[in-house]
Structures are given as C-alpha cells and as structure tokens.
Structure 1
C-alpha cells in the first residue's frame, strides 16, 4: 500500500491498481486516495471476449482490494486491446510488442477500458465500460522499431502509449471519455465514485 495523501472524506478512496498511469490520472481530481495492489489472476477464460475480460477483471480488482478496505470506496480498472474479438494484453517484451504493432498497423483496434467501484460496508457496486476505437497508421517496420526503442511501452495494452510518442502511431481516436485510452476513464470514474458518496468539487467532503 502506498499512501498518496491523508484521507479527508468520511470514506477513504482507494485505487486498486499499481499502474502509475492510473495513479497519475486519478491525481487530476485533487482528492486524497490510497493505492493498493489487487491480487487477481488476469488470465483470460476460454473463449472470453475482450470486453467481458476487461469488465470481469476491473470488478475483480475492486472487490479484491475492498476486502482489505471494507469501509473504503475502491476503484478497479482494466484495459484490453480488442483486435477483431481477440484480446491483446501487455506485451511484456520487445519481440511481442513488435508482433502486436505489426498486426495492428492499418487496422482499427478497440481498447476496452472498464472501471468498477465497490464499497463493501454500504453494499455499493457499479461498473462501466469505455470503449475507444483507434485507427492505426500503416506503419513500416522501421517506424515500429524506432517507436519501441524510444518509448518501450511494454507495460501498455496493445503496445500503444498514446500519451507519449505512441500518438504518432495513430490515424484517429474515437471515444467519449478522453482519458480512457490511457487506462482510467475519468468521466465514468467521477460518475461512479460520486454515486458511492465521494464529493469531487468540495475537496472530497460530503
């Protein structure tokens, strides 16, 4: 567990993720929160669609962390790159990232980004999905190698780090929640945590 700042709400807010990208996004809301690592098996189930996988893992992460923080409002999130119904996860290595980007060049990929919010003490549980349609440029092998050498996005689903040089890989982005592609859809997150009792525009106070 990493303490970001002392809780100032009736119920503490906990981000159930070790992703620095999600942590940086949640900090934009200027409310105190803690970070805890969810212990969740992220292996896809046989025949599981990317959307279903993202939704299941987001809720599982929120529930897992909520078990350790029953009085808190807990956020869980997950992102899966969806290439014609096939899930593409974090590459983890240069070779896998090259293979992913070669497959995605010139094609449209849907980044299925799910967020879930759970509070055990109140029984609150809700989730939402923010799909992002991304059209990739018809990239050359040299462009892919140049990008990977600079960005090294091996911890990003689909190898595309859009908040950095990865934006140069893309031809277009179509979505209704601007931060969803980075890993946490803040519009939906705000909606869910406010419904759970977190007041965002009053310093987190009820």
Structure 2
C-alpha cells in the first residue's frame, strides 16, 4: 500500500492593488517588490491643504489622493488602494515639487551641504471592508555640496522639477546625496516596511500582494 501524496500549501489568489499616484518611481519600487499595481491618478487639488506642518501635509495629501481614487466605481473588486505623498522638510518648511527651474535652483542652493527630513505619507484603504490605515515614514537626508555649475546642469535635465524636494536618490540626483538615515525606499516615494505593516493591520498578508 502506497502512501497518499502530501498536498502542498494552498495557493492564494493575488490581492488586487491600486496605486493612487502618477509617480513612476513609486510604481517601479512596488514592482521590484513583487507587486503589479493598477495605477489610477487622483487628480486632486493639493493646494487645499497648504499651511500644514510638513509631516501632517504629507499624510493629509496621501489621504486626499487615496480617498478620491477609492471612491471610483471602476476599480478591481476587493482591492487595496494606496495613496502616497512626499515632502521635504527644511528649516521647518514643507518643500514639494519645485515646478520651475528657478525654484529648483534656489532649493539646491539652500539644501547643499545640509540635511533635511523626507516625509512620505501613506494612506491605505481596503475596498472589501471599508477599513483604512495611515502612517508617515520619515527619513533624514544628508545632501552633498554641488557647485553652481553642477546645480545648473542637474536642473537643466528637468529631473528635480517634478520630484519632492527637488532631488532623487535612485537617478541623476543620487550623486548629490551623501547619506540617509532611515528607509531608502521611503526617499524614493514609498516605504515598503511601513506599507507591509499597514497591509497587516488590515488583516492581509504582504505576500498575498505578490503577483503570481
């Protein structure tokens, strides 16, 4: 008499995941972590929250984006919806995307040789239960001291105009960041360890988000 075959672990379906952000860096980070997000841009007016302290602003904007997308009726059934927003705190001021070359140049002249705190707000909604969780991750960023020619060349690439704090760590701006204290992914735009905790708080396993 032969033994009956032993069944393996039950294979669970991939939990649908929606990213309420247009950031290619966030999307790339999540994909590298095994997720396959459905991207839906919120299109909210971010100016409605002007005046808040930096960390509160980042969390408030993340919630604003997430709720706007979660209210749509064309999302995958039972999906988790994530809204994120990042701001750089320097001298107590919240610095978002500079938007113009002039502002980006001024920012870099103020930041070089100094340190700031990059705050990324995370707001996660479970469409199946209606529950939500939110938190902010903060990472200290130590900037190098690029000279005026380097700043001008960097600004001319257009990269710093469209990212919070006018810098990146995963692209051209990486050479102008001499160190960080905290989660590297948070500086890119989404803290994977924090997101895993939020997913768990909503009763799901992080590995259920991995694309099968």
Q: In which range does the TM-score fall when normalised by the shorter chain?
A: 0.7 to 0.9
1:33 maps to what in 2?
37
Report the equivalent of 1:17.
21
State the alpha-carbon separation in 2 of the partners of residues 25 and 99 from structure 1: 29
1:132/1:181 contact within 8 Å kept: yes
Q: Which residue of 2 aligns with 1:173?
A: 180
| Equivalent position of 2:106 in the other structure | 99
Q: Does 1:48 align with 2:52?
A: yes
Please say if 1:192 is aligned against 2:185.
Answer: no
- Paired with 2:210 and 2:154, the residues of 1 have a C-alpha distance of 40
CA–CA distance in 1 between the matches of 2:49 and 2:42? 19
Aligned-pair RMSD on alpha carbons? 2.1
In the TM superposition, 1:63-102 aligns within 5 A as 63-68=67-72, 69=75, 71-102=78-109
Once the two structures are superposed, residues 108-163 of structure 1 have per-residue CA deviations (whole angstroms, 9 ceiling, x without a partner) of 11111111101244132111211111122233211211222346321111111111
Deviation at 1:203, TM superposition (A): 6.3
- Report the CA distance between 1:58 and its aligned residue: 0.7
Q: Deviations over 1:25-59 (max 9, x none)?
A: 11123233311111321116453111110000111
Q: Is the 8 A contact 2:27 2:37 kept in 1?
A: no
Of the structure 1 ranges 181-190 and 43-52, higher mean CA displacement relative to structure 2 is found in 43-52
CA 1:17 to 1:46, structure 2 compared with 1: closer, same or farther past 3 Å?
A: closer
Per-residue Cα deviation, 1:146-199 (whole angstroms, up to 9, x for no partner): 222346321111111111231221232111x22000111111112212433443
Given the two structures, how large is their TM-score scaled by the length of structure 2? Answer: 0.83
Asked which structure has the greater CA Rg, the reply is 2
Identify the match of residue 145 of structure 2 among 132, 135, 138. Answer: 138
Does structure 1 residue 113 correspond to structure 2 residue 123? no
User: Quick check: 1:113–1:129 contact (8 Å CA) kept in 2?
Assistant: yes
